[in-house]
Structure 1
Amino acid sequence: MSEDNTPADLDAADGTDADAPALLAEVQALKEQVLRYAADAENTKRRAEREMNDARAYAITKFARDLLGVADNFDRALASVPADVDGPAKNFIVGVEMTSKALQSAFENNGLKKIDPAKGEKFDPHKHQAMMEQPGTDVEPGGVIQVLQPGYELLGRLVRPAMVVVAAKVAGAPKPEGGANPYAADEGADAGGSVDTRA
């Protein structure tokens, strides 16, 4: 038993032409839904790729952070060398300098960049950490006076901020009673020992 499904038979089975706009609207809604699902799938794929790329790029962050102490020790060792060193000690110091340069080169080759602001450079809270303020310097207020410890960033992401001393903004600051210097260390404290904890 076979039935001949002619267009007329289909119209009779499915309804009249009055159902056509409703069917077209349903088809359009389904098309939009499919496009939304496709866009969501594409966004999920891109997000997963981006996260995977970030994971690869920043996978060495902990390892790099552990090596920063080594770089700091090289810097401290070289800073403490007297100017009049001669003989075998001089060769040893040259070796330490070469090792320090090789470490910095390895850092740079892997995207780890040193943050070492110059004197007078504007304080950047995204890259610097103010350890103290110092008034009465030749540096503009808010500028870096001294770097206590350089910072580092990995491919633009901060690994460690540079620890700096910043020129104090004292121009419009109210003076305490008696005209005492608000930045002076307490009696019995070492000079320069006060730390600004307001940040």
Structure 2
Amino acid sequence: MGTPHSASETGKETDASADPAAAPNADARPEDTQATDKADHTAEPSSAELSPDEVIADLQAQIAALKDQALRAAAEAENVRRRAAREKADASKYGISNLARDLLSVPDNLARAIDSVSEEAQRAGGETLQTLMEGVKLTQKELLQVLERHGIQPIHPEGEKFDPNFHQAMFEAPGTGQPDGTVVQVVQTGYLIGERLLRPAMVGVAKGGTATQSENGQTESGQAPGSQLDTSA
């Protein structure tokens, strides 16, 4: 008859055999554990494993990239500075464009007043009328000088070839003896502010004359009446 075993001992043996994880791994060797640790350490190369030449080359590349970024930033800052200076200059030069355009009716009316009274009428009107007309002329002259101090100058296109960038054709005048497309009369004076057009000159253009020639010798005709490029300030 066999030796009897207690229930507790039998349970312990059963648990140990049922749970393989609880049992020690008899196949595991110390060499395998060391190899795994070594593989973890050598998975990614560190900077300490680079040669001195490679380290120097890497640092030089970083320095070159930083220099390039610094140069780009400096160039961008210079562009911003120049753009701000240009905008400031334009604001100073052209900021009064709207006011100046509204004021142009004043010299227009002064010119009409002067043209409406002939020299003969002034003499017939006596000293009072002559003094009045002299005052009107002085006022017109002073106003034009003030406008000129602010970069506003009149356009005098009579006798020139019609330019739609600066002139606005109001009518065509045949039989003037002038080349076709020549400005023969100024109806209303035009003005520039700086290098920009403030108001185009309203003009009459010759029609039916000989065609004008450009500098390269090609024949050109005048622009169509009323054609105008909007370049106003």
Change (3 A) 1:158 1:14: farther
Q: 1:72 to 1:16 in 2, by over 3 A?
A: same
Unpaired segments ≥5 residues, structure 1: 1-10, 173-194
- What is the TM-score of this pair, normalised by structure 2? 0.65
Equivalent residue number for residue 150 of structure 2: 110
The aligned amino acid for 2:201 is A
- Which amino acid in 1 is paired with 2:133? I
The answer for the alignment partner of 1:72 in structure 2 is 108
Structure 1 residue 16 and structure 2 residue 76: aligned?
no
- Structure exhibiting the larger radius of gyration computed from Cα positions: 2
CA distance in 2, matches of 1:92, 1:45: 53
> Is the 2:184–2:205 Cα contact (8 Å) retained in structure 1?
yes
Q: TM-score scaled by structure 1?
A: 0.75
Q: C-alpha displacement at 1:196, in angstroms?
A: 3.8
**Quick one: distance in 2 between partners of 1:170 and 1:164?**
17
Counterpart residue type for residue 196 of structure 2: R
Q: How many residues align?
A: 166
Q: Which residue in 2 is equivalent to 1:100?
A: 140
TM-aligned CA deviation for residue 136 of structure 1: 2.3
> CA 1:170–1:89 in structure 2 vs 1: closer, same or farther (change >3 Å)?
closer
- 1:132 and 2:139 are equivalent in the alignment: no
C-alpha change, 1:68 and 1:14, in structure 2 (3 Å) is farther
Give 2:65's aligned residue: 29
Stretches of 4+ aligned residues off by more than 3 angstroms:
11-15, 169-172, 195-199
Structure 1 CA distance for aligned equivalents of residues 97 and 171 of structure 2: 28
SS of match in other structure, 1:139: coil
Give the letter for the 2:157 counterpart: P
Contact 2:175 2:208 in 1 (8 A): no
Deviation at 1:148, TM superposition (A): 0.5
- Structure 2 residue ranges without an equivalent (≥5): 1-45, 212-223, 229-233
Do structure 1's residue 156 and structure 2's residue 191 form an aligned pair? no
The CA deviation string for residues 27-60 of structure 1, in whole angstroms up to 9 with x for no partner, is 2122111101110101111110110111011122
2:127 to 87, 100, 104: 87
Match of 1:165 in 2: 204
Instruction: Check the 8 A contact 2:169/2:202 in 1, yes or no.
Output: yes
SS at match of 1:103: helix
State the Cα RMSD in Å: 2.3
- After TM superposition, give the deviation of residue 13 of structure 1 in Å: 4.1
Measure the CA separation in 2 of the matches of 1:104 and 1:197.
27
SS of 1:163's partner is strand
